[in-house]
Structure 1
Amino acid sequence: MQHEAGHFLVAYLVGILPKGYTLSSLDAFKKEGSLNVQAGTAFVDFEFIEEVNAGKLSARTLNRFSCIALAGVSTEYLIYGFAEGGLDDIRKLDLLLKGLGFTQKKADSQVRWSVLNTILLLRRHEAARARLAEAMSKGYSVGSCIDIIENSIDVSDL
């Protein structure tokens, strides 16, 4: 739940609207009726898909995607001091960077930048993340979760 709350919050903060979430494979099965669905957060990411399909990913979109991809792992690390989940998130980001022709050095630099910025966002908005995780654990709607974020963020922090 903390992991998905991290994805959800960071996505919202960088301007990508979450459209749904599941907290476990069982939850995903109940919601989607398929065993092929994993736990996770889904986003309204038309801009990202359009850019990928066109074969040109802007730096802005890459930065946003990278932060969202690493938000779950970063959340776990901040809370527990280590991260157990997120290997699939890291693989997806790695495949994207390789697909874009990044050298290992350039990919490492992108990941480093993304982790640092994601950690800063998560630390700055820790109260929002904690309230969001609690709401998600109770199965609140996406709209209610967004409302919790907006009511938890101090406008002077933006």
Structure 2
Amino acid sequence: MSEAGVTRAALMVAALVVSTVLGPRVALPWVAGVALLILEQVALGGRLSGLLGAWLDWASPQYRQRVIRHEAGHMVVAYLLGIPLVGYVLNPWQAFRRGIPGYGGVELDQAPIRCWQAQGGIPWGDVDRYGTFWMAGAAAETLHYGHADGDAQDRQQVIRLLSGIPSAHPWVTSAKLKAQLNRFLRQSQALLQAHPETYAIVVQHLEQGSPWQDCMAALAASLEQEANQEV
């Protein structure tokens, strides 16, 4: 049974137990609410309840700041590694309207991914770059807060990358996988630590909700200024 199926079954059992213990009159509103929740999960795949959860999280300034720092890490590392992005969404409602789970995030250009699929495998050079990109959010959180909270989906993306490597590069043990994830994390941290001013500027633009083009222009200008200072 799928995870969603297990959740629905658990809700149904809980509703039956409550109705037995409290009686049908007292338990009726609660059971009706459970029924609506199950219907929403079946009909809409849990998108409305997911939107509500994302809004409750987004209401916390501390949560928003952590998300912004996480996504700024992705953005800076992507630019440094030449990974094409097409935009970002940092708003639960906008993400919901576009079919993106949670609060959104940076959006990858899908053209390279389609190219890998057509070729039947991912070159190691691209795995290294994209793996470092995916761990950049966790790297940014770790550098600022000492640990990462929002990296579960990013780690899954790295696992998918590694599973797409041709068979000459097997990743069959959890120890190898963990070592590779940590290596990507260290590479991301090194890139962010090398460009702290640029990272801070991107964070500021995301806090202000700047348009994508303005974020990219500010990022590029900051890196150019850093390069000129080093000459």
TM-score class normalised by the smaller sequence: 0.7 to 0.9
SS in 2 for 1:57: coil
User: Structure 2 stretches of 5 or more lacking a match?
Assistant: 1-67
Q: Deviations over 1:62-103 (max 9, x none)?
A: 011101110111100101111111211111212332354412
| Residue of structure 1 aligned with 2:138, choices 73, 83, 87 | 73
| Residue of structure 2 aligned with 1:61, choices 90, 107, 126 | 126
Query: Are residue 155 (structure 1) and residue 227 (structure 2) matched?
Result: yes
Q: Structure 1 residues 27 and 126 mapped into 2: Cα distance closer, same or farther (>3 Å)?
A: farther
Give the whole-Å Cα distance in 1 for the aligned partners of 2:214 and 2:154: 25
Contact kept, 8 Å, 1:18 with 1:142, in 2: the verdict is: no
SS in 1 for 2:140: helix
The aligned counterpart of 1:117 is 187
| Aligned structure 1 segments of 4 or more residues deviating by more than 4 angstroms | none
Question: How many angstroms does 1:35 deviate by?
Answer: 4.9
SS in 2 for 1:19: strand
| Residue of structure 2 aligned with 1:46, choices 99, 111, 130 | 111
Structure number with greater CO (CA < 8 Å, separation at least 6) is 1
Question: How many angstroms does 1:61 deviate by?
Answer: 0.6
Q: Which has the larger radius of gyration?
A: 2
Aligned length: 154
The aligned counterpart of 2:77 is 10
Give the whole-Å Cα distance in 1 for the aligned partners of 2:160 and 2:85: 22
The 5-angstrom pairing of residues 123-138 of structure 1 reads 123-138=193-208
Query: Are residue 92 (structure 1) and residue 157 (structure 2) matched?
Result: yes
Contact kept, 8 Å, 1:20 with 1:42, in 2: the verdict is: yes
Contact kept, 8 Å, 1:16 with 1:45, in 2: the verdict is: no
SS in 1 for 2:183: helix
SS in 2 for 1:40: strand
Over the matched positions of the two proteins, sequence identity in percent amounts to: 26
Structure with more of its chain in helix, by fraction: 2
Q: Deviations over 1:12-44 (max 9, x none)?
A: 110012211112423423xxx245444111122
The two structures, once aligned, show a CA RMSD in angstroms of: 2.0
Q: Deviations over 1:35-55 (max 9, x none)?
A: 544411112242233113422
The aligned counterpart of 2:171 is 102
User: Structure 1 stretches of 5 or more lacking a match?
Assistant: none
The aligned counterpart of 1:23 is 90
Give the whole-Å Cα distance in 2 for the aligned partners of 1:86 and 1:26: 22
